[in-house]
Amino acid sequence: MSAREWIIAYSKGDNLRMYWRLFDWRQHTKNRVFKACLTFFLNRAACRHGGYVGNGAVIKGIPSLPHGLHGIYISRYAKIGSYCRIYQNVTIGEVARKAPEIGDGCIIGAGAVIVGAIRIGSNVRIGAGAVVHTNVPDNSTVVAQGPRIIIKG
């Protein structure tokens, strides 16, 4: 990959390797000042790419983000397993300072919203536009509500 291609990929949000390295570094550092500096740079980078990953979020491994951080919001109380794939405009939010715990190998479709103190099992597929607020067992699929057709006239 040439330098030009790398710069274009990074500016689109496709190349976030450095972001996840800094994120992992922040999770393992004990120095408060250094952690604050890393948090500043991570928040700037996430904002630049159109997303937010909370300061206390626990993410095992590097998640696959096919569209970069575009529109992704991950609460600071969230726990995400390894080998997860998260598409654009996903919200992993909190309710009363309690956020979801997502298992390993999950796929979260575009525009999905996951909120509350719930547990999403391993190898779960969450469809685009789904709103999840209850526990989901392992190896299952969650889909959005079916469309309603309203005929005028």
What CATH number is given to the structural domain containing 138? 2.160.10.10
In tens digits, the chain (153 residues) has pLDDT values of: 687 776 666 555 556 777 888 888 888 889 999 999 888 888 888 877 788 888 889 999 888 888 888 889 999 999 999 999 999 999 999 999 999 999 999 999 999 999 999 999 999 999 999 999 999 999 999 988 766 656 676
Residue 122 resides in a domain: yes
Q: How far apart are the C-alpha atoms of 26 and 35, rounded to whole Å? A: 6
pLDDT of residue 13: 55
Residue 151 resides in a domain: no
What is the CA angle 19-109-129, rounded to 5? 125
Residue 40 resides in a domain: yes
Residue 153 resides in a domain: no
Count of domains observed in the chain: 1
Report the 10 Å Cβ neighbour count for 29.
13
> What domain range includes position 138?
3-142
pLDDT of residue 24: 87
DSSP state of 1: -
Residue 152 resides in a domain: no
Residue 147 resides in a domain: no
